[in-house]
Structure 1
Amino acid sequence: MLCVSNHKVSYGQSEVIHGLNFDVKPNEIVAIMGRNGMGKTTLMKSLIGVLPSEGSITLDNVEMAKMKSHQRVAGGMSFVPQGRMIFSTMTVKENIETGLTTTREKQVPQDLYDLFPVLLEMKSRRGGNLSGGQQQQLAIARALASKPKMLLLDEPTEGI
């Protein structure tokens, strides 16, 4: 499903990720663990295309390394960044709708509200007025709205 080969990421002259190789099979869950500053967030940002990288990133045999972030999302990747990055002045419903851009759907799929029932109850509330745990659920629901093949979660339990 996901194949990462000779993955390298640098900040200026400083190489942070040095030729990383790994595969993720369908329905497999992989946790990247390590202390602060070990490159976990850098890896996530480079996989989704926020940070430039070298090497190969393929998802279902489609090379994504040269694609922009929005193309990677359209190709089946989705990302929940550390700190959630929800739109605080938009409603819960509007936040989730921003994740629908790669699908043909116009309405938030009911299965997302089934997965996160609190979001249905609060769909008219502004995202910034939710608790940390509710904001995390919102960020995950927004990412799932694109119907990804691969979901990347950076620090998913932070602030909960």
Structure 2
Amino acid sequence: YFQAYKQSPEAFLNIHILYVKITINGVSTIALVDTGATSSLLSLSFSKTAHLERSVDTRQPVRVRGIGGTEPTTGTIWICFFVINDTDFDTKLWVWERKTYDVLIGLDFLRRHKCTIDLIRNRLIFNDQMHVSFLSEAEIDDWEAGRE
């Protein structure tokens, strides 16, 4: 234990997940930034909250695969517009029924917008120009408390 702590003290820290504030169709929420996800996702419940049900194309549902297995999507929003740090973005979003996250930003979005994850400064950088800070644990806790 002592040797492990001495060599890798960061292994003993609680590492929190990377979230950013996002606004979709005028509704604010937080989005998980997930470099392990190839595609960006939107929860079905949030699509209803943000009044996007009519934008969901249900003709081609697919199955998404993650650590917990595979799950079906409800459909696709081919172009979804949203705001991060007063900057407009667009992306395709698969819509799924899982309620764990309102929005999951995957590699498709990160690559399209030339994002860099700067863990030293705790921020997400877009196209080497604009950046947004990742939320602190306290901000995430406050947001989750407000949802209950």
Q: Hey, which of these two has a bigger chunk of helix by percent?
A: 1
Provide the TM-score with structure 1 as the length reference: 0.25
